[in-house]
Chains A and B, each alone.
Chain A
Amino acid sequence: MLGQQWPYAVATLLFAAGMWLLLPRARPQGRPIGAALVCVGLALLTLLVHFGLAVGVPGQPYWSWQAGEPSGGAWAVDIVFLVLAAVTVLSAVAAVTLRSPVYCAIWFGLTLLGTAALFLYQGAQFLALATVVVYAGAILVTFLFVLMLAQPEGDTYYDRLSWEAMLSACAGAVLVGILTMTTLQAFRDPGPTIGTKAHSPQAAQARAKGILASEHVASLGGQLFSTHLISVEVAGSLLLVALVGAIAIVAQATGNRLDRPGHAAEIGRAEATGHALGGPTHG
């Protein structure tokens, strides 16, 4: 039983208000309050989702815990998951709301490490490694390179302003709230099919032989190169095409900059249009 629905709305609203206060705005007051609101909202969401807090279930005390007591020794496992999830989500909040894009990239790196740890916790060893190597090692470093190339002066006015911070915070929070509600409604009272899959010892044995087997990478590679072989080939072609495309785009840009004689005038014209468009000229 899910209980009444207003606690979810409260958690979502707190989260939205905190995100709005945290996002860069013209008047930067209230950022500590925003951080506190985000933390409170996420903590309430944790109570509702992880610990199964339910309010106003008929036939039970007004506040009740639906998830049941964790069995012996499960507290440590639960705490590991909670810490990993908290690191991931809070660093994601920091990555989106901080003003300096370099700090954003670094906090996003922490989000990636948290996600990799969550993958590892699920037994997806190869994906955890691939996330660290590909995302944190390659993509994030490319982001930092571009940042250093494009914005060496650091602070700019457009990092201290947002589009419609309140509307976007509300949109994101409503999305999170709806997803939470529907997910919990589907799983708090699982039907016989889902329940069998979740709790039966046969399913646990199948998992131990299947997705949690000790030869994890070998099994994943077997799947990848037998069932999904064509997809692998297509992905390889996609990488090649993306490489060619990126080189073509950059080559065109540098051709514009260096080779064309009338280029300085064109840049001057672009600048002039930018100013005429009403963007702030300082910063």
Chain B
Amino acid sequence: MGELQLLYNYLIVGALLFGIGMIGFLSRRNMIVMFLAAEMMLQGVSVSLVAWGRFHNDWGGQVLVVFIITVAACEAGIALALVLMLFHRAGKLDIAFWQTIRESNQPRFVDHELPADDQAVGQHWPQLTPSGIEPPTKEEELVHRIHV
């Protein structure tokens, strides 16, 4: 490949990574998968920057990617701390749980269609026959047990 062909091939790969990451960020509902998609968009930008740096024989592209990696590490640390905190509050990673912070004139989001394959996922845990006497549980423990 010539240098020019190398450049635009890399730019297209970067654009694809960015686009796929954007699709994931817009459509997925699990907060951790959303952050994975955001990191993927950063990867796409890094690929483009390295290609430009090589084409122009300039170290700026690679230096900028070093800083992108630094910022991505900071972002991942803080984002995962936030996700953990939100999980402690909500008990699930669903981003739709936090729709109360939407704009006041936006309609409420309601799940209309639920996944039809609840039984078809293939997780059939073995069930033991209950035996003995069920101990009395306190109400407070029941509230906590949801989050364990």
CB distance from B74 to the nearest CB of A (A): 4
In the bound complex, how far is the Cα of B19 from the Cα of A169, in angstroms? 9
- Given A169-B27, A249-B82, CB of A123 within 8 Å of CB of B115: no
Q: Determine whether the beta carbon of B144 is less than 8 Å from that of A159.
A: no
Flag B1-43 by CB within 8 Å of A: 1 or 0 each: 1111111111111011111111110111110110111011001
- Given A85-B13, A122-B50, A242-B74, CB of A96 within 8 Å of CB of B8: no
Q: Determine whether the beta carbon of A127 is less than 8 Å from that of B54.
A: no
Q: Determine whether the beta carbon of A238 is less than 8 Å from that of B23.
A: no
- Given A187-B4, A239-B74, CB of A250 within 8 Å of CB of B81: yes
CB distance from A208 to the nearest CB of B (A): 9
Q: Determine whether the beta carbon of A28 is less than 8 Å from that of B1.
A: no
Q: Which residues of B contact A253 (CB under 8 A)?
A: 81, 84-85, 88-89
Q: Determine whether the beta carbon of A162 is less than 8 Å from that of B74.
A: no
Q: Which residues of B contact A34 (CB under 8 A)?
A: none
- Across the interface, A26 reaches (CB within 8 A) one of B35, B89, B115, B140, namely B115
Residue among B22, B24, B35, B78 facing the most chain A CB atoms (10 A cut-off) = B24
Q: Which residues of B contact A173 (CB under 8 A)?
A: 19, 23
Q: Which residues of B contact A252 (CB under 8 A)?
A: 85
In the bound complex, how far is the Cα of B19 from the Cα of A175, in angstroms? 6
Q: Determine whether the beta carbon of A268 is less than 8 Å from that of B143.
A: yes
Q: Which residues of B contact A246 (CB under 8 A)?
A: 77-78, 80-81
Q: Which residues of A contact B9 (CB under 8 A)?
A: 49-50, 81, 85
Interface size for chain A: under 10, 10 to 19, 20 to 34, or 35 or more residues?
Answer: 35 or more
- Across the interface, A74 reaches (CB within 8 A) one of B1, B78, B93, namely B1
- Across the interface, A96 reaches (CB within 8 A) one of B24, B63, B111, namely B24
Q: Which residues of B contact A27 (CB under 8 A)?
A: 113, 116
A93 CB–B CB distance under 8 Å: yes
Q: Which residues of A contact B32 (CB under 8 A)?
A: 101, 105, 143, 146-147, 150-151
In the bound complex, how far is the Cα of B2 from the Cα of A199, in angstroms? 7
Interface contact tally, CB-CB below 8 A: 339
Q: Which residue of B lies closest to A267 (CB)?
A: B143
Q: Determine whether the beta carbon of B63 is less than 8 Å from that of A150.
A: no
Q: Which residue of B lies closest to A125 (CB)?
A: B62
Q: Determine whether the beta carbon of B57 is less than 8 Å from that of A210.
A: yes
Q: Which residues of A contact B23 (CB under 8 A)?
A: 19, 23, 96, 168-169, 171-173
In the bound complex, how far is the Cα of B57 from the Cα of A212, in angstroms? 8
A33 CB–B CB distance under 8 Å: no
CB contact list, B44-80 vs A, under 8 A: 46-47, 50-51, 53-59, 62-63, 65-67, 69-78, 80
Q: Determine whether the beta carbon of A26 is less than 8 Å from that of B8.
A: no
Q: Determine whether the beta carbon of A119 is less than 8 Å from that of B27.
A: no
Q: Which residues of B contact A250 (CB under 8 A)?
A: 81, 84-85
| Known A211-B54, A249-B82; 16 more pairs at CB < 8 Å | A45-B12, A93-B20, A96-B33, A96-B40, A124-B54, A134-B69, A135-B69, A142-B76, A158-B29, A183-B15, A197-B55, A199-B2, A239-B73, A256-B88, A277-B99, A278-B108
Which are the 10 A-B pairs with shortest beta-carbon distances?
A96-B24, A242-B74, A168-B26, A172-B23, A198-B4, A26-B113, A253-B85, A179-B15, A176-B19, A158-B94
Please give the residue numbers on chain A whose beta carbons come within 8 Å of chain B beta carbons, in ascending order.
19, 23-24, 26-28, 42, 45, 49-50, 67, 70, 74, 77-78, 81, 85, 88-89, 92-93, 95-97, 101, 104-105, 108, 111-112, 115, 118-119, 122-124, 126-127, 130-131, 134-135, 138-139, 142-143, 146-147, 149-151, 154-165, 167-169, 171-173, 175-176, 179-180, 183-184, 187, 190, 194-195, 197-199, 203-204, 206-207, 210-212, 219-220, 223-224, 227-228, 231, 235, 238-239, 241-243, 245-247, 249-250, 252-254, 256-257, 264, 267-268, 270-271, 273-274, 277-280, 282-283
